[in-house]
Structure 1
């Protein structure tokens, strides 16, 4: 079972502290699974932790979160070598690919070395839902502000480009991101840019933004466009997702 058309859920959320686990999947991860249309069996989710160097402790936390959620989790590690012999076959066998946050610049470089950029495009076209948080959101777009290069935010403009927009994550919690997005859109460094507060996700069918959703009340999504030499921001009110039941 795959989504009926290419689908991306780009987020600034998806994880929270569990009752008995360090990490549990919040509503955005569950929504990514719902978007895949899977039913009648356990959902297959691939966890990609490249952006944090495939940190084994976090892979273990994600495996525990998947167990609680009732998902079959396949981790894809690229350090020190790929842990899967047939990466493309494994990716195409998933319902959802969930990409962890961290360094989007390092993520892109390592993915390209291993051809994962091409594989993920094929998976997207085949209906595997692509999703993730922070770096795992920016990667699907043209680019966006990142702290990959140091504590001072800088623009990244060579992301995968499956979606023809810029992307701003953590829009409400990192005070430097909103003004930088506005500056980069105003000077043409970034195209029209779609942004998310923490806990918010953006659903794309093909390359069209069809809905904003949230796991946290009161949060927003935003579209920033260039008008003349300025940037203009429009707020989108996201639909509140139900709280997952485990």
Structure 2
């Protein structure tokens, strides 16, 4: 039961430490499942851990979190090889694809080796909800600042570009992120950028930003646009945020 239109939920959240499990699903993941419109059966979530090297402990922890939330989880691990020759069929069998964080540069390179960008575009167009955190947010955009190459932030600009904007993640918890986004937008290295504090997410239908949401009471979301008259060459607007229950 796909969503009624192409849907992406790009976030800086979605999971947290569980009370009785290593990980539990936070409200942003539950919101992604809600967006899929699934009823009458357990939702199916495809977890993609490429950005952290498909660590089996992480796959197991996310699967356990799914059991706790009554969500059926399948891990799409590409190391040491894809689990099937029919990646399209595997992905399209799910309601939600959730991409975890890590190295967005490595994620994009490995995905391209296996043709996954084309599969994900097809899933997006078919109404499978695409979502993720950190690298799993950046990947859907043109690009944004990343620590994929080392501790100093650098730009990645070869994202999947399903969303034709720049993206900034962990905007409130890592001090270098905000100035890096502003500099990239001011120079034209990135188009206007949509950014999230930890715990916030951005909902898109097609390529239109519909709303900003958050799973805590403090997280914000922001639009950064080029403005030659501004001191930094860019201006930032705080977006209205709906707090998820």
TM-score of the superposed pair, with normalisation by structure 2: 0.98
Q: Cα distance, 1:212 vs. partner? A: 0.3
Give the corresponding residue for 1:16: 16
Q: Is the 8 A contact 1:76 1:84 kept in 2?
A: no
1:241 aligned to 2:224?
no
Give the corresponding residue for 1:183: 183
- Counterparts of 1:205 and 1:78, CA distance in 2: 28
Q: Cα distance, 1:237 vs. partner? A: 2.5
- Counterparts of 2:201 and 2:219, CA distance in 1: 10
CA distances 1:107-159 after superposition (whole Å, capped 9, x unpaired): 00000000000000000000000000000000000000000000000011000
Give the corresponding residue for 2:200: 200
- Counterparts of 1:138 and 1:225, CA distance in 2: 17
**RMSD between superposed Cα atoms in Å:** 0.7
- Extract unaligned runs of 5+ from structure 2: none
CA distances 1:13-62 after superposition (whole Å, capped 9, x unpaired): 00111111010000000000000011111000000000000000000100
Q: Which runs of 4+ in 1 moved over 2 A?
A: none
- Counterparts of 1:142 and 1:85, CA distance in 2: 28
- Counterparts of 1:84 and 1:23, CA distance in 2: 27
Q: Cα distance, 1:227 vs. partner? A: 1.2
Q: Cα distance, 1:215 vs. partner? A: 0.3
Q: Cα distance, 1:85 vs. partner? A: 3.3
1:173 aligned to 2:176?
no
> Helix, strand or coil for the counterpart of 1:165?
strand
- Counterparts of 2:21 and 2:39, CA distance in 1: 26
- Counterparts of 1:115 and 1:221, CA distance in 2: 32
Q: Cα distance, 1:228 vs. partner? A: 1.9
Q: Is the 8 A contact 1:145 1:181 kept in 2?
A: yes
CA distances 1:153-200 after superposition (whole Å, capped 9, x unpaired): 001100000000000000000000000100000000000000000000
Give the corresponding residue for 2:163: 163
Give the corresponding residue for 1:58: 58
Give the corresponding residue for 1:231: 234
CA distances 1:197-230 after superposition (whole Å, capped 9, x unpaired): 0000000000000000000102100000001261
Q: Cα distance, 1:98 vs. partner? A: 0.2
- Counterparts of 2:22 and 2:240, CA distance in 1: 30
